Structure 1
Amino acid sequence: MVMAIQSATDLLAVGQTLDLALNTALATEKAAQSLVVAARALVQEKEMADNSAPLARAPNDPYGRKPSMATIMDRTTEEIMYNHDNDSDIEPDLAPRSAPKQPHSAMSSQRNRSDSQPSIFSAHSNQSGPFTPGTEYSGRGIQGGFPFPTSTGEGGFGGVANSATPGRYDMRGEKVKKMLGDDAPGRGGAQYWFLGYDYQQADLVLNAEGGVKGGTLPALIERLTLHDGLDSNFIATFLLTYRSFTSTKELFTYLFHRFTIQPPMGLDPEELEIWTEKKLTPIRLRVFNIIKSWLETYYLEDEADDREALAMIKDFSGSAAMKDTMSFAAVQLIKLVEKREQSEGAFRKMVLNLTTQAPQPITPRNLKKIKFLELDPLEFARQLTIMEANAYNKIKPVECLAKAWTSEDPEIAAKAVNIKKMIETSNLYSNWINELVLSEKELKKRVLVIRHLVMIAEKLRQLNNFSMLSATMAALSQSPIHRLKRTWEQVPSRTMTAFMDLQALMGVAKNWAEYREELHSVNPPCVPFVGMYLTDLVMIQDGNGDFLKKSNHLINFYKRVKTAEVIREIQQYQSVPYCLTSVPEIQSFIRRGQDCTKSVADLYEMSLQLEPR
């Protein structure tokens, strides 16, 4: 259920489907190449058999000569590659290979105009479902089943752009040639040096799975807007965490520069047309969709940097650079900016139609003078859950970066205002719970309060409110209450068993192993224990440098990947609201108790008066 909700609300879910389709196409390619190897072996066997037999006339050769090995392999290769290109609906806009082969050195071929990239005004631009930034205004999420090779140019290096792993230079062509010889089947499409990547190979480091491990900021920006592929996971991680290594204004400065890239020197008119169609246009679409996604999902109205970026986007969208090339996209961005300027926080929020009716509140007879023991444990837990869920749902991704909630710098600490508020509420609630127990002078009444609190904790678990469950367990384990030996001896065994079970559930043993297992097994709505996430974020922040080892310029993107994983888990529980009815009188009672609670030192003195040492 959690995974389904996450997928339904994830703007990047479409990219995963495209990746699956691409992997299928690549598997087909490998099968075709294996077939070529087998065909070559058969032809060699046939030649050996023919050499040992009397010379036979070739059907179309009046002199009885056999077709050469190169001719057979050329025909076999072309037939196989032709079928591969024309049968796949994932492959790029390559012309069928029925035409005679042209020399590789020419580096030019007849171009099929009907196979050009779709326009931004195509039907795909009106899709209403979840989208991946960089794909909703283009016909395909990943351009081409095969990359466009690049030859070694001035200041460059050998290798081809690899669509299977976007952003990685592919050196497999030479390996295939070594294995199969000069008759090895070629890759689809012409090999254009000017369709390579603009960053140097050393500027981007990938891991064994093809994910980004680190890179310079320009290389990461280029990866964000690749012309020959789409890495949806990278895009999501980048937009969630970019504030930890750059500013919003610097990001958009790079994106605007990326939108207006210039062609390499020395291109003839045909090459310039190919460069424009295969590189410039896809990049501009990517940039547009990244900006659009940022405006809809990642803009923070409390950030001065973001508000200034709105003016930058508006000016750029109205400039000739974008208005003359992508007028429709420019209008869309201007409308989004104006909508952001007029909105007050609410923007493209998911609204769920709750078909189930909220349960009837269980209220005490006298709401004007509420007593704790007169409150129904379930209703008390419901009101706690409503209040805590509202606070949890306000947490923003930027609050999870660089341990902002622990910073002594007021400007940085202000970014984590909601996390700090939840921590403060938890501490005040724990002190209030202590005071509720210690305010009772009679031992039997203290036992009743403890029993009531354990029942509330059980209801909190039923409501999946692990945040207040953890706070309740922590309160009952604090020294002012924990030391009351005579009081705990009178607590019923059933209550003690439940208390011990809940304490084990929320315990820190094995990095909250039992709690993590239960959290990942429940269905939303849910309010997780934020303290566990903060511990994970501190471990990631302190255990990984901002830059890769032995480098002071390659941003450690793996660190941001791990941070984004925690942020996504926090976000997935913010999607589903609770269907409960607020009771203002009970919530006011809870707030008054938290605001007027005593300090820990005063509570310990109260404990000593009840049961001296």
Structure 2
Amino acid sequence: SLTVLPPRSQASPPSPGYVHYKTCKVRSLRAGSLQRLVQNLLVEYEGTDPSYVPTFLSTYRAFTSPEEVLDLLLDRRMERVCDEESLPPGSPVPDTLRVQRVVRGLLQTWLERHPQDFRDAPGCLRLISSYLSRDREGTGRDPHSPLLHLLQSLGEEEEEEEGGGRARSPPLRKSARAAGEGDAETPGDNRTLLSRPPQDVAEQLTLIDVDLFQRLQSCHCLGSIWSQRDKKENRHVAPSVRATVAQFNAVTACVTASVLSDVQLRPQQRARVLEKWICVSQYCRFLRNFSSLRAILSALQSNPIYRLKRTWAAVSRDNMNVFHKLSDIFSDENNHGMSREILTQDEIPLRRVNSARNEPRPLQRSASQVRTTRRAQGTVPYLGTFLTDLIMLDTALPDFIEGGLINFDKRRKEYEVLAKIQKLQLTCRHYVLTPKPEILQAFYTHRQLTEDQSYRISRTIEPPADSCPNSPRIRRKLTKRFSSLLLGSEVFGSKLNDDRVSPSGSCSSCEIDEGLIAALCPPEAPTHRSSPEPLTPLRDEPSRPAASPRSPMSLSSSLPVYNQQVADLCIIRVSMENTRGNLYKSILLTSQDKSRVVIKRSLLKHNIEPCQPDDYQLVQLLAEGKELTIPDSANVYYAMNTSANFDFVLRRRVRVS
């Protein structure tokens, strides 16, 4: 809306009683063919829809490739069409110089904001260079052109990689590890990770997370890309997200091993180890590093550590209060409303750091902490929250509408989430942290335990018959598993056959090269058992979503949720019977879906080709081992039992000859 002001010559004191407004119509493209969407890039580059270009450049990988976009963008016929559309009816078609300037500006924006698109498709650089050589204004021959400078920089990187010359600067994770390994030969340097000050450990974990988060490509987080990572042909999809998840798992494994490795420790000594990690996690909170904070809490809430009742009973009350307060940040109440709200807040005020009553005393007196709090303005989020929203959007909204047009409204909603990631990436420039190779070396070379090893050691430390009434009462809502609805797949009860580390040290795991996705959320608190076998619960019973209003940053309340039917929609989880572990896939169910449609969709998600829906039947898993077989002709939405969990299994039919 625009305020209409009177001319200067007739200016009068503003009236407090009313204000004149002028309504302006904004042109917005909701859906279209690929050619139309690319054409609209040139129209809206300086048009009335400023969000169109960044939305397209951030999400186009979900429905096309850089080569296709560039071919359409540099097509001479596209220039004439855009010139004609930008003029009033009946006007003569002018020269295309203006459109060429728009194309150059668009290419520069693309190269600046998404250079990785051209590293992944180096042939695109040659197309742009060829286009500039034909430019009428001679941009391709101007040595001071920013666009030409960007092309030269990316071209040099490509030549270095092809010729085996000087490679690009390696990620901090690799370079720091190399530096640490070089220093490891120093005699007498055998100190463990926790022998360093907690704030130093937190800073080095933050240093790694900042480097990975800044290298994160937001398009890799799109639900249509990340949810397809388990297919064989997509083993190398979304490497920047996988790297973040791998670091999360490394932190979780480090915490688990440091608590459990020494079986000779007394409960009071092991409690001091827990307190040190609680202290490290609090420093991560001060540094606004929610990725490592969540990883540490996930490890402390995992089965092998959670069940150590004598150890938890020896943890001081102040540290337990801190532990519970930090755990509250990741509560799933109100669609993770607290963690979403914290991401938008400024850094922790100094007065809160100094006046908190339940914080450990070393944190209250630390001058280093005061300096850190003053300078640390960046934020490293817990990436699982954004993956949740993007996979939910991808599940709930169609890619195409009637007529085969690309649903660009869906891309706008996805960009709202990606824009938050990109904004947080910019804040990471404010971090001022110095690498300490000895701490990085201690972290990278820390002992790691498999899931089974962790649980066996835990049972050795405290046999199952042992009990203590003072064990920590971690709230159930804080320790629920990251639903397969949100991350696309989840495996419960599967066991690792090698020395690789499980996602959270708990009894749920995915394939290790999938980044141990279940680690992105702490597991359900275990129930005590006296059987000699390790705890391997096949299912956790998720609680139903809270009925309270959602956070302003959360998704629209009209989106479907798991275990609840809302607006004729819901999300169910479907697994295949007789498979290794229980691999769930989330399915969007409407009030119009029949059994055959749901079975076919589930087979496609499980990558079972060719799909034969008639060979399977859909069965809902109820409590106490009961089942509900959905009839072939039934409407699943109305036939299912809504008082039970929305968990289903596809079972092969037994053909009677």
Instruction: Give the TM-score taking structure 2 as reference length.
Output: 0.54
Gap change, CA 1:573 and 1:530, over 3 Å in 2: same
Which one of 295, 317, 323 corresponds to residue 493 of structure 1?
Answer: 317
Query: Which residue of structure 1 aligns with residue 138 of structure 2?
Result: 327
Contact 1:318/1:330 (CA < 8 Å) preserved in 2? yes
- Write the letter of the residue equivalent to 2:133: G
Which structure is higher in helix share?
A: 1
- Write the letter of the residue equivalent to 2:30: K
Gap change, CA 1:262 and 1:467, over 3 Å in 2: closer
> Where does the alignment leave 5 or more consecutive residues of structure 1 unmatched?
1-22, 33-82, 88-162, 169-210, 348-364
Q: CA deviation at 1:495?
A: 1.1
1:131-530 map, 5 Å: 165=25, 168=27, 211-226=28-43, 229-257=47-75, 261-262=79-80, 274-276=92-94, 280-300=96-116, 303-304=119-120, 306-319=121-134, 323=135, 325-328=136-139, 331=142, 332=145, 333-343=147-157, 368-406=189-227, 407-409=229-231, 412-440=234-262, 441=264, 442-523=266-347, 524-530=377-383
Q: CA deviation at 1:410?
A: 5.7
2: CA distance, partners of 1:316 / 1:276: 20
2: CA distance, partners of 1:275 / 1:435: 71
1:585-600 map, 5 Å: 585-593=438-446, 596-600=447-451
Partner of 1:455, secondary structure, is: helix
Contact 2:32/2:408 (CA < 8 Å) preserved in 1? yes
- Write the letter of the residue equivalent to 1:416: A
Contact 2:222/2:391 (CA < 8 Å) preserved in 1? no
Partner of 2:216, secondary structure, is: coil
Gap change, CA 1:573 and 1:271, over 3 Å in 2: closer
Gap change, CA 1:258 and 1:540, over 3 Å in 2: farther
Gap change, CA 1:261 and 1:439, over 3 Å in 2: closer
- Write the letter of the residue equivalent to 1:300: Q
Which one of 425, 428, 435 corresponds to residue 582 of structure 1?
Answer: 435
- Write the letter of the residue equivalent to 1:232: P
Q: CA deviation at 1:273?
A: 7.4
Q: CA deviation at 1:373?
A: 4.1
- Write the letter of the residue equivalent to 1:233: S
Contact 2:66/2:117 (CA < 8 Å) preserved in 1? no
Gap change, CA 1:577 and 1:404, over 3 Å in 2: farther
1:529-548 map, 5 Å: 529-548=382-401
1: CA distance, partners of 2:331 / 2:122: 43
Contact 1:259/1:283 (CA < 8 Å) preserved in 2? no
- Write the letter of the residue equivalent to 1:327: G
Gap change, CA 1:273 and 1:509, over 3 Å in 2: closer
Gap change, CA 1:577 and 1:472, over 3 Å in 2: same
Gap change, CA 1:290 and 1:230, over 3 Å in 2: farther
Gap change, CA 1:222 and 1:403, over 3 Å in 2: closer
User: Which structure has the greater CA radius of gyration?
Assistant: 1
The count of corresponding residues between Structure 1 and Structure 2 is: 386
Gap change, CA 1:525 and 1:499, over 3 Å in 2: same
Q: CA deviation at 1:218?
A: 2.0
2: CA distance, partners of 1:418 / 1:465: 18
1:19-168 map, 5 Å: 24=2, 28=4, 165=25, 168=27
CA RMSD of aligned residues (A): 3.3
Gap change, CA 1:431 and 1:408, over 3 Å in 2: same
Q: CA deviation at 1:334?
A: 4.7
Q: CA deviation at 1:415?
A: 3.8
Q: CA deviation at 1:547?
A: 1.0
- Write the letter of the residue equivalent to 2:291: S
Query: Which residue of structure 1 aligns with residue 176 of structure 2?
Result: none
1: CA distance, partners of 2:316 / 2:210: 32
Q: CA deviation at 1:454?
A: 0.8
Gap change, CA 1:230 and 1:284, over 3 Å in 2: farther
Q: CA deviation at 1:464?
A: 0.7
**Deviations 1:490-510 (Å, cap 9, x if unpaired)?**
211111111111111122222
Contact 2:386/2:417 (CA < 8 Å) preserved in 1? yes
Contact 2:58/2:218 (CA < 8 Å) preserved in 1? yes
2: CA distance, partners of 1:310 / 1:217: 21
2: CA distance, partners of 1:223 / 1:388: 37
Partner of 1:579, secondary structure, is: coil
Partner of 1:559, secondary structure, is: helix
Gap change, CA 1:314 and 1:409, over 3 Å in 2: farther
Gap change, CA 1:495 and 1:256, over 3 Å in 2: same
Gap change, CA 1:455 and 1:571, over 3 Å in 2: same
Q: CA deviation at 1:339?
A: 2.9
